[in-house]
Amino acid sequence: MAASIAPLSGAAQAEPLTLVAFGDSLTQGYGLPDGDGLVPQLQAWLTARGVDVTVLNAGVSGDTTAGGLSRIAWTLTPEVDAIIVTLGGNDLLRGIDPAETRANLDGILKETQARNLPTLLVPMVAPGNFGAGYKQAFDALYPDLAATHGAMLAQPFFAPLTGGSEDPAAMRPWLQADGIHPNKDGVAKVVEVLGPEVLALLQSVKSTP
């Protein structure tokens, strides 16, 4: 691991990198004490591995992909070096047409691509209750958009909590009482998988004079 992060600690990276975690309540840390949410746990994970990066929490509870699209431009300030995009969960809760979700995420990724920002897209996975057609359309939009815009594609956000099972009950030990948001231990499991993906993202940040 030390060798894999060495390029981030050289003279060319004398200043800390700035990574934006852009998303909804899953990013914001809904229902958790300070320090237990995704951003602080990811920050601690990266710091423990010698990565000089500041992770900014740009999660807004309740945000849909439309909400994310409306604020992406002003979120991407000049000091931002890379971004993680984790949106779509609230679109699922509202049963929003996957075509609309696709269009909104497409707009978000156009913004990051236009600024040459390394981007990690974190998928959501549709449940089966909306029908097979809905699930197929929704699940496909993340890999399609990542390929279109040259973004990196992470593992689905909740995949670390399922243990490979398709039974939603498998996640219960890792969720808060609402059955939607990860608890502290659930977030830790997410970070175990997301952390190496973020390392790879930061490796793609090109140093500028």
Q: How many CB atoms lie within 10 A of CB 136?
A: 11
**Residues known to be catalytic:** 25, 178, 181
Question: How far, in Å, CA of 30 to CA of 182, rounded?
Answer: 9
- Report yes or no on whether pTM surpasses 0.85: yes
The single residue listed with the structure tokens 């409306």 is 70
Q: In whole angstroms, what separates CA 16 from the centre of its chain?
A: 20
Going by the DSSP 8-state scheme, the letter that residue 59 receives in this structure is E
pLDDT by 10s per residue, the chain, length 209: 333 344 454 434 458 999 999 999 999 999 999 999 999 999 999 999 999 999 999 999 999 999 999 999 999 999 999 999 999 999 999 999 999 999 999 999 999 999 999 999 999 999 889 999 999 999 999 999 999 999 999 999 999 998 877 677 888 999 999 999 999 999 999 999 999 999 999 999 964 33
Secondary structure E strands in 89-132: 119-121
User: In CATH, what class is 16-203?
Assistant: alpha beta
Instruction: Give whole-number Cα distances, 195 to 33, 54, 55, 189, in Å.
Output: 21, 14, 12, 10
